[in-house]
Amino acid sequence: MNIRLLGAGLAIWLGATVALRLGGQFVLRPHHPAGTAALFAVSFPLMAWLVRRLCIQARLPQGQWLAGAASIAFPSLVLDAFSSALFPFAYPNMAPELAGVFGGWILWCCAGAFAGAAISGARRS
């Protein structure tokens, strides 16, 4: 586990959690599949790009990027399991029936992070 990237993942998780507690009702909305699809479409490549940038900034050799992605995704995978299970308490501003969508979105973001680390051949600058 790369401590620097774990810290970055924790900071990302904390920032996203605060943002969702303040304005999540505008991000995840019940009965808006087009908005959810757009959110998923943007999140995957954004996380792929972000993980690549963080691995480059941490000066990780490309062979260690998957481990770097695991370090970044770890806080979300652990902490958002509880956020999903306790969704009405964690996010009182969002409809409780969105817990599954939220959990899926988190998994989708983590998948984007791992895809960004696994795809090679892109420019490294």
Structure confidence by residue, pLDDT tens digits, 100-125:
999 999 999 999 999 999 987 555 44
Q: How far apart are the first and last CA of the chain?
A: 23
pLDDT by residue (tens digit) across 24-51?
Answer: 999 999 999 999 999 999 999 999 999 9
State the residue range of the domain holding 68.
Answer: 3-12+34-118
> Is residue 47 in some structural domain?
yes
> For position 125, what pLDDT does the model report?
47
Task: Answer whether residue 23 is part of any domain.
Answer: no
Residue 124 belongs to a domain: no
Q: C-alpha angle 112/39/26, rounded to 5°? A: 135
Does residue 26 lie within any of the structural domains? no
Total number of domains constituting the chain? 1
pTM: 0.90
Q: Residues 94, 28: contact at Cβ < 8 Å? A: yes
